[in-house]
């Protein structure tokens, strides 16, 4: 299913189902009042964003330290691999929903219900921002303790009333801190309206770093050598360019012609620079067009050249990465590689990388135009927030890293 279809299902199917489900839940509670139990086996629900699987990791590690049971996760099948970068959740504790079609989604949702009961899920944290589908999944998980973001007096964010602990989503603090607030609400020994009433420091959202072996790095070096026979790992400085962004928000894509100009400037500025254009195998043809625009042997189409789980190894031997506001900016945060992230319809204040990073953001009065209240769908067809960011602005921003390579 494409993103717009998912949004329509979430609204036209999700709203009436959450309304009816809430009525059933309240009637059932009148007949048989439920008691919140001690947290043991916790399910986290986050379906649609691969980058969020990294941003939630500080919250997951905190939760893992505090509970006596197991941590579980449900996610769309195409995004599961993002959880394997840090392996905070065991492989066998991850349930994947098949999002290829409505029927397959419904069938996998039924399997999910049985899976939750088999694993004795007692607590559930819904990480999504006001999704009705995830609200229903939280309810049907059978968890007695249910935590998530609640709209309170905000209009247009109805998702039923299944939560036993309601957290106020804060659009003025980083999403990773909002995730910590959800964990705090679950672990709290007192009731609050709304949760969570404490300051969450930057130290609490420090990202874990992954372990990379010399053998892992040698394997990447061999792949680069196969793509560029003149590659010398002692001389060349690897610079990564990610010009792609998911279909969830295509307005995040900076113009490829701009990337072309910046890459040419990089290659001219540093004769030892080797630019690798990254991407998934499905993005190869689009990346090839950018490669042809640059027309330099030191600019390599690297889309699909490494497997997803090899990305940290690639990042570990690279000097820096220039990327759109997309998954790779967050995947790179588990290494020490510096990233330069071009933001437009979203804001780095909420979704900035947790690793060493420099945001490039014009901060127009209309930015950010996507938020929880519009389910990250913007009416904009003229993304001036990215168009006003010129190749020269970007090059001047990254120049200090190029100077460090000399």
Q: Into how many domains does the chain fold?
A: 2
C-alpha count within 13 angstroms, C-beta hemisphere, residue 257: 3
**Which range of residues forms the domain containing residue 323?**
214-404
Instruction: Give the residue among 145, 111, 107, 105 at the shortest CA–CA distance from 125.
Output: 145
pLDDT band for position 250 (cuts 50, 70, 90):
confident
Q: Residues near 138 by Cβ (< 8 Å), separated by ≥ 6?
A: 45, 124, 126, 146, 148, 162, 163
Write the pLDDT tens digit of every residue in 73-82: 999 999 999 9
Task: Examine the domain organization and report whether 397 and 251 are in the same domain.
Answer: yes
> What distance in Å separates the CA atoms of residue 260 and residue 391, rounded to the nearest whole number?
9
pLDDT, residue 138, reads 95
pLDDT, residue 36, reads 67
Task: Examine the domain organization and report whether 100 and 28 are in the same domain.
Answer: yes
Looking at per-residue pLDDT, the higher value among 190 and 274 belongs to: 274
The radius of gyration of the chain's CA atoms, rounded to the nearest angstrom, is 22
User: Is the model's pLDDT at 37 over the cut of 80?
Assistant: no
Task: Examine the domain organization and report whether 257 and 306 are in the same domain.
Answer: yes
Instruction: Give the residue among 326, 275, 265, 263 at the shortest CA–CA distance from 302.
Output: 275
User: Is the model's pLDDT at 341 over the cut of 80?
Assistant: yes
Task: Examine the domain organization and report whether 230 and 378 are in the same domain.
Answer: yes
Percent of the chain beyond pLDDT 70? 99
Task: Examine the domain organization and report whether 272 and 142 are in the same domain.
Answer: no
pLDDT band for position 247 (cuts 50, 70, 90):
low
Q: Among 136-150, 242-256, 313-327, where is mean pLDDT lowest?
A: 242-256
Task: Examine the domain organization and report whether 200 and 221 are in the same domain.
Answer: no
Write the pLDDT tens digit of every residue in 7-34: 888 888 888 899 998 898 888 788 877 6
With vertex at residue 219, the alpha carbon angle to CA 268 and CA 222, rounded to the nearest 5 degrees, is 50
Instruction: Give the residue among 357, 301, 263 at the shortest CA–CA distance from 54.
Output: 357
Write the pLDDT tens digit of every residue in 353-372: 999 999 999 999 999 988 87
In the listed set 188, 205, 222, which residue is the last one of a domain according to the structure? 205
> What distance in Å separates the CA atoms of residue 325 and residue 6, rounded to the nearest whole number?
22
Task: Examine the domain organization and report whether 52 and 199 are in the same domain.
Answer: yes
pLDDT, residue 83, reads 93
CATH number, domain at 106?
3.40.50.2000
Mean per-residue pLDDT over the chain, rounded: 92
In the listed set 149, 172, 205, which residue is the last one of a domain according to the structure? 205
Task: Examine the domain organization and report whether 130 and 263 are in the same domain.
Answer: no
CB 84 within 8 A of CB 91: yes
């Amino acid at each position: 299913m494409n993103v717009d279809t998912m949004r329509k299902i979430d609204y036209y199917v999700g709203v009436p189902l959450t309304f009816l489900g809430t009525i059933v839940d309240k009637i059932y509670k009148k007949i048989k009042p439920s008691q919140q139990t001690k947290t043991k086996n916790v399910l986290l629900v986050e379906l649609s964003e691969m980058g969020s699987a990294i941003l939630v990791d500080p919250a997951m590690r905190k939760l893992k330290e505090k509970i006596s049971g197991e941590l579980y996760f449900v996610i769309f099948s195409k995004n599961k691999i993002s959880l394997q970068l840090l392996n905070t959740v065991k492989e066998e504790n991850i349930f994947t929903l098949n999002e290829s079609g409505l029927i397959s989604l419904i069938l996998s949702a039924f399997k999910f219900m049985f899976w939750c009961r088999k694993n004795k899920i007692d607590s559930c944290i819904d990480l999504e921002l006001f999704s009705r589908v995830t609200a229903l999944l939280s309810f049907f998980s059978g968890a007695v303790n249910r935590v998530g973001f609640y709209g309170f007096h905000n209009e247009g964010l109805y998702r039923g009333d299944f939560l036993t602990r309601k957290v106020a989503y804060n659009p003025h603090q980083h999403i990773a801190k909002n995730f910590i607030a959800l964990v705090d609400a679950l672990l709290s020994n007192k009731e609050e309206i709304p949760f969570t009433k404490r300051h969450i420091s930057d130290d609490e959202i420090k990202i874990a770093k992954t372990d990379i072996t010399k053998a892992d790095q040698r394997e990447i070096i061999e792949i680069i050598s196969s793509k560029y026979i003149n590659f010398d790992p002692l001389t060349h400085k690897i610079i990564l360019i990610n010009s792609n962004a998911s279909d969830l928000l295509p307005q995040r894509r900076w113009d490829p012609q701009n990337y072309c100009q910046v890459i040419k400037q990089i290659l001219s500025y540093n004769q030892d620079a080797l630019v690798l254009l990254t991407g998934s195998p499905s993005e190869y043809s689009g990346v090839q067009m950018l490669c042809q625009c640059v027309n330099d042997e030191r600019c390599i189409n690297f889309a699909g050249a490494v497997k997803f789980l090899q990305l940290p190894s690639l990042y570990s031997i690279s000097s820096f990465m220039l990327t759109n506001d997309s998954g790779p900016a967050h995947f790179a945060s588990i290494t020490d590689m510096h990233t330069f992230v071009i933001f437009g319809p979203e804001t780095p204040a909420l979704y900035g990388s947790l690793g060493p990073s420099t945001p490039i953001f014009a901060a127009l009065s209309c930015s950010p135009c996507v938020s929880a209240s519009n389910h990250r769908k913007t009416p904009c067809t003229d993304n001036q927030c990215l168009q006003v960011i010129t190749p020269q602005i970007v090059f001047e921003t990254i120049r200090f890293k190029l100077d460090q390579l000399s």
